[in-house]
A and B are shown apart, each in its own frame.
Chain A
Amino acid sequence: MTNKPALVWDIEIRIFHWLLLAFVVGAWMTVEMGPPSLLGLHEVLGFGIGAMLIFRLFWGLFGSWHQRFASFVRGPVSVLSHLKSLLTGKPQRFIGHNPAGGVMIVALLLVLLGVVASGIATMGGFDKAGPLAPYLTFAQGRQAKEIHELLVNILLVLAGLHVAGVIVESVFLKENLIRSMIHGRKEAHPDFIAPPGPPPVARPGLAAVLASLVVASLGSAMFYSSLKPALGVPMLGHNPQYVKECGACHTPHHPSLLPASSWKLVMAGLSDHFGDDASLTEGNRQEIETWLVKATELGWDTKAGQRIPATLKPADPMRITASTFWERRHRKIPEPVFKSKLVGGKANCQACHVDAVRGGFSPLGIAIPEEIK
């Protein structure tokens, strides 16, 4: 009964489909399996997915007929009648997306859009980086992170249903739909249900120009926005006395890592400073304490500046490395790493965090040094 195979999925949509899959899988893997520094690649893949979604939007308006939203977005009645036809064993055959598939495409695109948006919001508020860093608080970033993770879980479920749907239809229609997404053709059938109306002509040039314009303007807007100072990350001048005296023995810990009350305790107990005699002349001591207290008063809306002071152990209020947040974040680091010659101790933050002195602690700036043998 089969006739000449018809080209249904054009080359643009096939490239989009498989590239999107690769980017999504890659983005998922970088976070689930990679070291924290791979978050940078995760973000690049995320922006890439965002750009692809913009292209897909325009291809859904100006692409070839089966790729247009107008051809496959159907109401609930058609969706139900299609699903019923599957149950009766006489499935309706569509050239392009069937109505249920159309719903899935829209759902996948919308959820992905939400994943990208919440990802950029997480990056902005939680990591104080990227285009939204000047606008979002840490608390908002944490909420965005939860939404991001929720949407990713929804996406995984949808992707599973999408694959299941493809397999079900392939079995019912006795046609390998996965291969169709590779070579683009579907076997023609006399009982095909064609989308309504005369198929309009694809306008790849128009779609490309519009998508490029939007990607370029949105991209440059985001680039310039990401150059602005992040919200809640004040400019803090370098205090030479602090760096000289405290930095002589350890990383000059960023003032945001402890509350003023803890800093006062530290500066009052220098003759027994975590077991060391770190006495200063009274003049130096006072100068450094004053600076530390003033620096904390600037208000630090960073991850470390929010989470470490908030999770210090009440019995050990001066020890940054005893905070629940610090412990949780370092639980996967084996003890020998801290004891190695290149690190030397838990207080040597800058051994692994390139931006420790600035109090940044970006996941992108983590590099655990390895002994050269």
Chain B
Amino acid sequence: MKIRLALAAACMMALSAQAIANPQRTAILDRFAAEAKQQDKAFSAFSAERGKALFMDKHTGGKPEFPACASCHTSDPKSSGQTKAGKEIPPMAVSKTPTRFTDPAEVEKWFGRNCNQVLGRDCTASEKGDFITFLISQ
């Protein structure tokens, strides 16, 4: 019984570890890290803290209806959001939506659209990396 439980726990851990350390996601983060280093010599590592601030904070510069990521995604990354048109948005947290940040084209598309909406500009590579790092931690 104990052995079985331990085995199940090990499997679960392995699975969740795999979900977090997804190779495509790692590759995306590595690319952003390289870009960030290029943009700023002082860059050392991504920060979930900074990512959290980017996600939660109200910004100016973008469209007034969308002052924050939380405007659509809600301030809880683990819960579903809703688009302006009423469609449900699956949670941003990687623990809830394991496919998050695994498709480079999708990542580019949504950062491209939403940074423009919320910030009124493109996000920097370090901002993107921070954002993803925060949501992996959720």
- Residues of chain A whose beta carbon lies under 8 Å from any beta carbon of chain B: 247-251, 275-281, 341, 343-345, 347-348, 351
Contact = CB atoms under 8 A, between A and B. Distances in A.
Contacts of A278: 113
A372 B51 CA distance: 35
Contacts, number: 49
Given A275-B65, A341-B82, A348 B87 contact: yes
B83 A250 contact: yes
A344 B112 contact: no
A249 B114 CA distance: 13
Contact of A250 (B86, B113, B116, B117): B86
Given A275-B63, A275-B65, A345 B116 contact: no
B105 interface: yes
B86 A347 contact: yes
Contacts of B6: none
A105 to B, nearest CB: 54
Contacts of B63: 275
21 contacts: A247-B87, A248-B83, A249-B83, A249-B87, A250-B85, A250-B86, A251-B85, A275-B65, A276-B113, A277-B112, A277-B117, A279-B113, A281-B109, A341-B82, A344-B86, A344-B87, A345-B85, A347-B85, A347-B86, A348-B85, A348-B87
Nearest to B108: A281
A343 B117 CA distance: 23
A352 to B, nearest CB: 11
A277 B82 contact: no
B109 A344 contact: no
A28 B109 CA distance: 53
